[in-house]
């Protein structure tokens, strides 16, 4: 009986960090989805301007969306502000490239 309890405790100790990691990953995916929606709207507005370039569109979209995204992911301790800022800029430039290349 004691062996079974120790085995169960060991399994739970291994499974608990995996479950927490999965929850954090789900949270990040959720916030990334919200970020993509925000960037899509902002990119649409910016790309309609006659002087729109990849840089101006991406910069505008990133400025519009980065504050909320950084606040969300850092308040839940999912990533550092610098990492979140890089992610916002990367997504913004990728989306601007796709929108303006068509």
Would you say residue 2 lies in a domain? no
The whole-angstrom separation of Cα 57 and Cα 62 is: 9
Structural domain includes residue 89:
yes
Q: What percent of the chain has pLDDT over 90?
A: 75
* Count of structural domains, the chain: 1
Residue 84, pLDDT > 90, answer yes
Q: Per the domain annotation, does 3 fall within a domain?
A: no
* Domain assignment present for 56: yes
The reported pLDDT for the residue numbered 63 is 97
Q: What is the mean pLDDT of residues 75-88?
A: 95
Task: Find the domain containing 32 and state its range.
Answer: 24-101
Decide if 97 is inside a domain.
Answer: yes
Assign 48 a pLDDT band (cuts: 50, 70, 90). Answer: very high
Given a contact cutoff of 8 angstroms between Cβ atoms, the answer to whether 72 and 30 are in contact is: no
Q: What does the mean pLDDT of the chain come to?
A: 86
């Amino acid at each position: 009986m004691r062996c079974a309890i120790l085995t169960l405790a060991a399994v739970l100790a291994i499974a608990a960090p995996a479950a927490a990691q999965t929850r954090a990953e789900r949270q990040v995916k959720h916030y990334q989805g919200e970020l993509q929606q925000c960037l899509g709207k902002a990119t649409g507005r910016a790309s309609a301007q006659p002087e729109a370039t990849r840089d101006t569109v991406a910069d505008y979209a990133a400025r519009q969306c980065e504050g909320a995204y950084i606040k969300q992911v850092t308040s839940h301790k999912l990533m550092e502000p610098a990492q979140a800022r890089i992610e916002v800029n990367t997504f913004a430039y990728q989306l601007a490239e796709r929108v303006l290349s068509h």
